[in-house]
């Protein structure tokens, strides 16, 4: 097949303990999925889940034991971290029942949903889409994927984040307003999910700004650490 331009290589994330790579198709993100984070964003209660997307090429894999580098993005003076558990799908479908949703999960990873908060806030005020606040280059650092066959099904466990060694976020993934099967099921009613889709499942309270030189270290119990420096 002849292409006018060379096609871009697929985005792929390493699998922990393996030489294999996991290809990324789409990146979905669950918004305001922890009660205390919803409160700090000015919302209360368990509203229906909502989602936004990042482009697959915003994903920046970081190997175990390494410090990834993320460029401070342009047009912002308020870059925020959001530590998240990422769910990786090996199966998809439409209208997936909640009780079958975990069967779609191939594995889990650590992720950062980096956010140009000032630009996102402006878009909220104007009723415009969030892309410039959420979907910019390098906005989705991610650690290696841990297969569910190895780590089991995750429904509880500490989630945390430090900036320069100081604890900023601390919660438990059991505190999600919409748990993983519920989020997958709801999302599959909006889109046909496919193998290779990944879902950033939301962040707990304690989000805040970082500047060039800061080192972000975050984790979820059983999945190690993700470390990224802003450069």
pLDDT tens-digit profile of 158-190? Answer: 999 999 999 999 999 999 999 999 999 999 999
pLDDT value of position 38: 62
Determine how many CB atoms are found less than 10 A away from the CB of residue 132.
16
Q: What is the mean pLDDT of the chain?
A: 95
173-177: list long-range contacts, CB under 8 Å, 24+ apart.
Answer: 173/85, 173/201, 173/220, 175/34, 175/35, 175/36, 175/204, 176/33, 176/34, 176/201, 176/202, 177/32, 177/33, 177/34, 177/35, 177/38, 177/46, 177/49, 177/202
- Using the predicted structure, report yes or no on whether residue 222 has a pLDDT greater than 70: yes
CA distance 80 to 1: 43
> Which domains can be identified in the chain, with CATH numbers?
12-230 (3.90.850.10)
The beta strand positions in the chain, using DSSP E, are: 12-14, 21-23, 27-30, 51-54, 59-61, 67-70, 79-81, 83-89, 105-112, 115-116, 140-142, 146-147, 158-163, 166-172, 198-200, 208-210, 215-220, 225-230
Alpha helices in the chain (DSSP H): 35-40, 98-101, 117-126, 131-134, 148-151, 180-188
Higher pLDDT, 146 or 1: 146
What local confidence, expressed as pLDDT, does residue 47 receive?
Answer: 79
- The C-alpha atoms of residue 111 and residue 132 are separated, in whole angstroms, by 19
Among 28-37, 104-113, 123-132, 200-209, which stretch is predicted with the lowest mean pLDDT?
28-37
Count of other CB atoms within 10 angstroms of residue 109: 28
pLDDT value, residue 48: 86
């Amino acid at each position: 097949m002849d292409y006018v331009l060379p096609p871009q290589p697929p985005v792929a994330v390493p699998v922990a303990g393996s030489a294999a790579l996991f290809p990324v198709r789409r990146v979905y993100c669950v918004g305001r999925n922890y009660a205390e984070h919803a409160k700090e964003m000015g919302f209360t209660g368990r509203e229906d889940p909502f989602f936004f997307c990042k482009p697959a090429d915003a994903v920046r894999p970081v190997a175990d034991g390494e410090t990834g580098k993320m460029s401070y993005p342009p047009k912002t003076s308020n870059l925020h971290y959001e530590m998240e558990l990422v769910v990786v799908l090996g199966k998809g479908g439409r209208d997936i029942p909640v009780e079958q949703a975990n069967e779609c999960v191939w594995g889990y990873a650590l992720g950062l949903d980096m956010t140009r908060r000032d630009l996102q806030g402006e878009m909220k005020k104007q009723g415009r889409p969030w892309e410039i606040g959420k979907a910019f280059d390098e906005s989705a650092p991610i650690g290696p994927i841990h297969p569910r066959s190895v780590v089991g099904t995750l429904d509880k466990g500490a989630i945390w984040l430090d900036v320069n060694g100081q604890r900023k976020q601390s919660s438990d993934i059991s505190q999600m307003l919409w748990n993983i099967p519920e989020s997958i099921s709801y999302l599959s009613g909006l889109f046909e999910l496919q193998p290779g889709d990944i879902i950033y499942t939301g962040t707990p309270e304690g989000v805040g700004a970082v500047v060039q030189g800061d080192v972000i270290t975050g984790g979820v119990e059983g999945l190690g650490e993700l470390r990224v420096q802003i450069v």
